[in-house]
Amino acid sequence: MVLIAPSILSADFSNLKEEIIALDKAGADMIHLDVMDGCFVNNLTFGAPVIAALRQYTKLPFDAHLMVQHPQNLIEPLKKAGVDIITVHQEAATHLDAILSDIKKQGLKAGVALNPSSDENMVKYVLDKLDLILVMSVNPGFGGQSFIPSSLDKIMRIKKMIKGRNIFIEVDGGINPMSANQCIAAGADILVAGTAVFKGGTYKENIESLR
């Protein structure tokens, strides 16, 4: 069954404790944490101190997606904050193999994110260090964007490229019940959703509609 990872980028930031608890009760499989530095992308969100403060309110895996220029600087702080997965952008990682090795040395799962214009072959030489490949189906930096249809072909190509390896394919951006169906059919294992989960406050129903 596909896993649903609500992105707290769409949560009520004045009420994050209660939002995390509600997502847990609603049946979320993990919590997606969009860490933005205002440089790699225009927006600035939160970092390790906020994540550490939230860690006590759920046992769900924390899936940290780093949209930052120097991801290597955040690996140790995020480990201490309690994250389980760190995903870095291929476009921001000058020494991708080394960064993934550092993540694995911390005992964490390692992922690589690919922007819509990025070729999936960029990661074929680090597959042995990957637990997750994140396909960005919108341009990174802010929520509420429309799903980019060409992402479906990329998901299918990645599925062939990993050839049965134990690597999850995660999709982030413009996920709603229709695009979720398409992504699952293409081979996605994890769907990141913000607006589609939080709209109307009916978290459980919204999560189930994406499955």
CA dist 66 to 22, 35, 38, 159, 210, Å?
24, 5, 11, 23, 24
Both tokens of residue 19? Answer: 């939002």
Looking at the DSSP bridge assignments, the partners of residue 192 are 5, 172
Phi/psi of residue 26, nearest 5 degrees: -80, -10
Looking at the DSSP bridge assignments, the partners of residue 136 are 172
Residue 172 among the catalytic residues: yes
**What is the residue type of 122?**
M
Residue 34 among the catalytic residues: yes
Catalytic, out of 34, 37, 102, 131: 34
Catalytic, out of 37, 63, 131, 172: 172
Residues 145, 69, 7, 116, Cα dihedral to 10°: 40
> What residues are labeled active site?
34, 172
